[in-house]
Amino acid sequence: GGTVLAAEVALQRGLACSTAGGTHHAFPSFGSGFCLLNDLAVAAKYLMGNSSPKRKVLIVDLDVHQGDGTAFIFKEETCVFTFSVHCGKNFPLRKQQSDLDISVEDGMEDKDYLSTEAHLPWLLETFRPDLVLYDAGVDPHWEDELGRLRLTDQGERELRTTISPHISRVFLFFNDSVSPRAVSERSVCDEDCGEQGRSCRCRYWRRIFKRHRQTGPQTLHRPQSS
């Protein structure tokens, strides 16, 4: 319910965030990878079913694991484009085919990882989605022992900064890492907001929302049929 609600708010206001969701490993008939229900798929199908013509949904999945359940669910759905950047040697062992998969090597660092996002402007221009579901996993960070990538705090900040200007209607997810250390060290705040720590996104997200309030949503238009 929260995922669907946040997606509806994104359509109404141009931007919405959810601190839960992104359970992209769940398949139609079974759960997988700690995911019972695929809320990305539920939200996309709900919003497509409530519009005529059907809304077009771009799913940008930057969790360190491939969104195999999401790819399988939408493999024959032309109104959904699935884009996944993931560590090729990480879970799941048997990958599904997304519309665009970028498999990266173990140990990849900031510069090379950031170069994979060059596909995003092209995808937005050619597919022209009505809604973008952005699964922003934190597990590519170097402190996630199970993620196997080497992104730094600065690299992740640059990643969000690189992506945000290109997306006008966006729904943001934050997947929790499966590494207890990474979760405990990176889910706290380094500003004066009652928490302690060094990796909070408070300042970053305030800038994003402030800019959005100033500029307003930029509608993505569906191509006119001939």
User: Annotated active-site positions, please?
Assistant: 25
Contact between 1 and 43 under an 8 Å Cβ cutoff? The reply is no
Q: Could you give the C-alpha distances from 101 to 1, 122, 188, in angstroms and in order?
A: 28, 15, 32
d(CA 101, CA 87): 10
The rounded distance, in Å, linking the Cα atoms of 117 and 63 is 13
User: What would the DSSP string read from start to end of 128-191?
Assistant: --SEEEEE--STTBTT-TTT---B-HHHHHHHHHHHGGG-SSEEEE-PPPS-HHHHHHHSS-SS
DSSP state of 112: H
Q: Is the peptide bond before 121 cis (omega within 30 degrees of 0)?
A: no
CA angle 205, 208, 209 (to 5 degrees): 90
Task: Residue 180: count other Cβ atoms within 10 Å of its Cβ.
Answer: 9
